Amino acid sequence: MADLTTDFLGIKSPNPFWLASAPPTDKEYNVRRAFEAGWGGVVWKTLGEAGPPVVNVSGPRYGAIHGPDRRLLGLNNIELITDRPLEVNLEEIARVKADYPDRALVVSLMVPYDEKAWQEILARVEETNADGVELNFGCPHGMAERGMGSAVGQVPEYVEQITRWVKKHYQRPCIVKLTPNITNILAPARAAKNGGADAVSLINTINSITSVDLDNMAPEPTIDGMGTHGGYCGPAVKPIAMNMVAEIARSPDTAGLPISGIGGVTTWRDAAEFMALGAGNVQVCTAAMTYGFKVVQELISGLSQWMDEKGYGSTADFVGAAVPKVTDWQNLNLDYVTKAEIDQDLCIKCGRCYAACEDTSHQAIAMGEDRTFTVKDEECVACNLCVNVCPVEGCITMRELRPGELDPRTGMTIPEDKRTWLQHPNNPGADPLACIVRGQ
């Protein structure tokens, strides 16, 4: 079996699966059980300043989006940081770390924009022997109204300043957790890097309203007739998170900054994808909250089976492997042509591909008398919509036309070399030489 041991910022864990800072990591009881279940590490639920802890609502704090069969696809929450006293948390952290020296234990922090406040809490954290800290610049509700969380994360200067303070007053690794509630993720990532962060983790939750109670005319979850936006997470946010991870991994000024990938990780495959896009490890919250700690067993067995099949000896072998393949649209080969192909043995003749293509795309699917569905190569632009709406996995696939083959739609023969928008004759700004070389 593949070795899943992961070294992230010098913090070793038996596997790259950490629990994200959230209810699953809010107390000793949970974290011990998580470690027993096999989790490689945890980021403890965010701690605030000493003194009276924050107060949570005591009505419903979650809203949800379900897929068919009530599969939980997206969760939102209006929970704050830990509502237990700082002292209790710190004692528990120290105890758990002592008992599980081989697991990663990172402490998430959120205190006001004030060097002294950070200095004080860091000194307390240091005493617990925790492996590092994560700065929560992400929570989009509640704490943001008090000038913390995403209110910090949305201002690169604050991010940089606090990171500097932390690096000044704390010796162990510092991870900066980014909020996705921002137009360009590179700005806070750069700020974190400039401030000296050892890594960034992302994403925290996304501003959201999941549903509206149409009888009481109030957003849900509803607290005594009123609602507020909450933080969205779970499988639904994975694509957003992965794009942000990839942007940081490939941008020249942030490339190489270690990343902890968060957002919708539910299966081994999600984890492998985040890691291929440059995440050194992943953090999980919603999947654990939906299925319990045991879900890590599938993450472990699946990732190791895949690594064995691919011949990867360690996670470092594939972390970032897909980053060079992430590019700007303008660098895509416009002479690359594929055609949809329907496997008649797998097709159940539901006609979804036809409806999608006929009504909303390129009228490239023919429906025969006997409900045989076939692709018209002369119309198919290879948009992939039919592949995505077909209920049978693997039934519609894309066939790549080889150089020398004729594309019946355009009448063009597929050339040997590639041509991107930068060389395309329709691009007013293109390099004209590229066309001459091709004899056009």
Partner 1 sequence: MANFADLHPPLSDHEALVAADRCYFCHDAPCMEACPTTIDIPLFIRQIATHTPEAAARTILTQNILGGMCARVCPVETLCEEACVRMSAEEQPVEIGRLQRFATDRLMAAGPQPFERAASTGKRIAVIGAGPAGLSCAHRLAMYGHEVTVYDARSKPGGLNEFGIASYKAVDGFAAREVEWLLGIGGITLELGKALGKDLSLDALTEEYDAVFLGLGLTDTNKLGIPGEELEGVVDAVDWIADLRQAEDLSTVPVGNDVVVIGGGMTAIDAAVQAKLLGAESVTLAYRRRREDMPASRFEQDLAASKGICLLFNATPAEIRGEGAVAEIEFTRTGTDARFTLTADQVMKAIGQKLGAALGLETDGRKIAVDGTGRTSREGVWAGGDCASGGEDLTVTAVAEGRDAAEDIHAKLMGEG
Ligand X SMILES: Cc1cc2nc3c(=O)[nH]c(=O)nc-3n(C[C@H](O)[C@H](O)[C@H](O)COP(=O)(O)O)c2cc1C
As annotated, the active-site residues are: 139
The option from partner 1, ligand X, ligand SF4, none interacting with 234 (CB < 5 to 8 A, set by class) reads ligand X
Residue 30 interacts with ligand X (CB under 6 A): yes or no: no
E strand or H helix that includes residue 139: none
E strand or H helix that includes residue 51: none
The option from ligand SF4, ligand X, partner 1, none interacting with 177 (CB < 5 to 8 A, set by class) reads ligand X
Closest to partner 1 by CB, 121 or 386? 386
E strand or H helix that includes residue 303: helix 296-310
Residue 141 interacts with ligand X (CB under 6 A): yes or no: no
Closest to ligand X by CB, 287 or 347? 287
Residue 262 interacts with ligand X (CB under 6 A): yes or no: yes
Q: Which two tokens stand for residue 154?
A: 């949305």
Site for ligand X in 175-194 (CB under 6 A): 177
- As a whole number of angstroms, the distance between CA 8 and CA 259 comes to 9
Phi first, then psi: give them for residue 85, nearest 5 degrees: -60, 145
Placement of tokens 């590229």 in the chain: 434
Selected from 72, 144, 282, 353, the binder of ligand SF4 by CB under 6 A is 353
Diameter over CA atoms, the chain: 77
Candidates 75-83, 96-104, 123-131, 246-254; binding stretch for ligand X (CB under 6 A) = 75-83
Cα distances (Å, whole numbers) of residue 272 to 10, 238, 406: 20, 12, 37
Cα distances (Å, whole numbers) of residue 224 to 55, 65, 75, 81, 369: 16, 22, 20, 22, 58
The option from partner 1, ligand SF4, ligand X, none interacting with 69 (CB < 5 to 8 A, set by class) reads partner 1
Residue 201 CB, shortest distance to ligand SF4, in Å, is 27
The option from ligand X, ligand SF4, partner 1, none interacting with 291 (CB < 5 to 8 A, set by class) reads partner 1
Q: Are 317 and 7 in contact (CB under 8 A)?
A: no
Closest to partner 1 by CB, 251 or 267? 267
Q: Which two tokens stand for residue 399?
A: 């066939």
Closest to partner 1 by CB, 219 or 264? 264
Site for ligand X in 85-114 (CB under 6 A): 108
**Residue 41 neighbours by CB under 8 Å, 6+ apart:** 11, 13, 17, 18, 19, 103, 104, 105, 106, 131, 281
Task: Decide the pairing of beta strands 373-375 and 406-407.
Answer: unpaired
Q: Are 17 and 40 in contact (CB under 8 A)?
A: yes
The option from ligand X, partner 1, ligand SF4, none interacting with 373 (CB < 5 to 8 A, set by class) reads ligand SF4
Closest listed residue to residue 21, CA positions, set 289, 302, 237: 289
The option from ligand SF4, ligand X, partner 1, none interacting with 301 (CB < 5 to 8 A, set by class) reads partner 1
Residue 286 CB, shortest distance to ligand X, in Å, is 3
Mark residues 373-402: x for contact with ligand SF4 by CB under 6 A, - for none. x----------------x-x--xx------
Binding-site ranges for partner 1 (CB under 8 A): 69, 71, 267-269, 291-292, 294-295, 297-298, 301-302, 305-306, 346, 392-394
- As a whole number of angstroms, the distance between CA 4 and CA 207 comes to 34
Closest listed residue to residue 120, CA positions, set 165, 153, 160: 165
Q: Could you report how far apart the first and last alpha carbons of the chain are, in Å?
A: 54
Residue 75 interacts with ligand X (CB under 6 A): yes or no: yes
Closest to ligand X by CB, 136 or 154? 136
The option from partner 1, ligand SF4, ligand X, none interacting with 292 (CB < 5 to 8 A, set by class) reads partner 1
Residue 264 interacts with ligand X (CB under 6 A): yes or no: yes
Closest to ligand SF4 by CB, 73 or 353? 353
The option from ligand X, ligand SF4, partner 1, none interacting with 191 (CB < 5 to 8 A, set by class) reads none
- As a whole number of angstroms, the distance between CA 308 and CA 207 comes to 39
Q: Are 7 and 258 in contact (CB under 8 A)?
A: no
Selected from 123, 348, 406, 412, the binder of ligand SF4 by CB under 6 A is 348
| Three-state DSSP state, 332 | coil
Residues paired with 199 in a beta bridge: 175
Phi first, then psi: give them for residue 158, nearest 5 degrees: -65, -40
Residue 289 CB, shortest distance to partner 1, in Å, is 13
Binding residues (CB under 6 A) for ligand SF4: these are 342, 347-353, 373, 390, 392, 395-396
Site residues (CB under 6 A) for ligand X?
20-23, 45-46, 75, 77, 79, 81, 108, 136, 138-139, 177, 204-205, 231, 233-234, 237, 262-265, 284-287
